[in-house]
Structure 1
């Protein structure tokens, strides 16, 4: 018999997963949490900064990567804006375009960066997360120059 946590995860649609991701980010946590991911989740980051992984396979590997990344990121996120969600012919998949704005805690600088996410959810869990990031904008925001 499924637990209430797994039963509630099974009910999540791609849009509901995206909303949970947003809430987690705004709470200062890792956005894509372990409980949202399938055991064999694939996370693709095609525009990851040089030296960073472009693909991570597995919930535990991604959780370790995400926790380290979030703790090293000196940003307090304030809002998601310019959100557009595209529903596809496949009910497991949405494409979300959005901008995340916040304050760099080391400089006090307000900044934002754009993202595009292709999200596939099966059985209430993320099986594929493909995120395109504005890495140039993120690097500029995190630089010491004002």
Structure 2
């Protein structure tokens, strides 16, 4: 799969209420980075098993469901294995029905048709409010 194919696969998984990744999408030594993560949350997770455990636990505790993932732009880089994606996730809070959205930028690097690195830049305030980690 190309980097674009992998991103589209992730996007479909979000919208079908699955975790972002399945084992076949990731290299054994995959690295997931979220440099702007909220305090107490990891900024780096390495290895397929650790990444899958992390995303499964996070997914199980989400207080919302994704309604849409709007791809704003996909930028090619000098390295054909790497793309930069700008997107917005739109969600509905399951307890209240309130709708919210948050912007993201991610750098996806693929190797042998799998994700080798996913570096996601998120708005920690928007994410914190949506997940309940920060007060409204």
Same topology, TM > 0.5: yes
Task: Say if 2:71 and 2:85, in contact at 8 Å, map to a contact too.
Answer: no
Post-superposition Cα deviations, 1:66-103, rounded to whole Å, max 9, x if no partner, equal: 00000000211111125210011110000000000010
SS at match of 1:63: helix
Structure 1: which 5+ residue stretches go unaligned? Answer: 1-11
Task: Say if 1:74 and 1:105, in contact at 8 Å, map to a contact too.
Answer: yes
Task: Say if 1:109 and 1:141, in contact at 8 Å, map to a contact too.
Answer: no
Structure 2: which 5+ residue stretches go unaligned? Answer: none
Match of residue 30, structure 1, among 15, 19, 27? 19
Query: When the two structures are aligned, how many residues end up with a matched partner?
Result: 135
How many Å separate the matches in 2 of 1:33 and 1:128?
14
Counterparts of 1:101-140 in structure 2, within 5 Å, are: 101-140=90-129
Post-superposition Cα deviations, 1:23-67, rounded to whole Å, max 9, x if no partner, equal: 000000101222100000011110111011111110000000000
Kindly name which structure, 1 or 2, has the bigger radius of gyration based on alpha carbons: 1
Post-superposition Cα deviations, 1:89-143, rounded to whole Å, max 9, x if no partner, equal: 1100000000000101022110001111000001001111100111201222344
CA shift in 2, pair 1:42/1:82, >3 Å: closer
Q: Which moved more, 1:57-66 or 1:82-91?
A: 82-91
How many Å separate the matches in 2 of 1:42 and 1:82?
23
TM-score by length of 2: 0.93
Task: Say if 1:115 and 1:131, in contact at 8 Å, map to a contact too.
Answer: yes
CA shift in 2, pair 1:58/1:139, >3 Å: same
Task: Say if 2:11 and 2:20, in contact at 8 Å, map to a contact too.
Answer: yes
TM-score by length of 1: 0.87
Note the aligned Cα RMSD (angstroms).
1.5
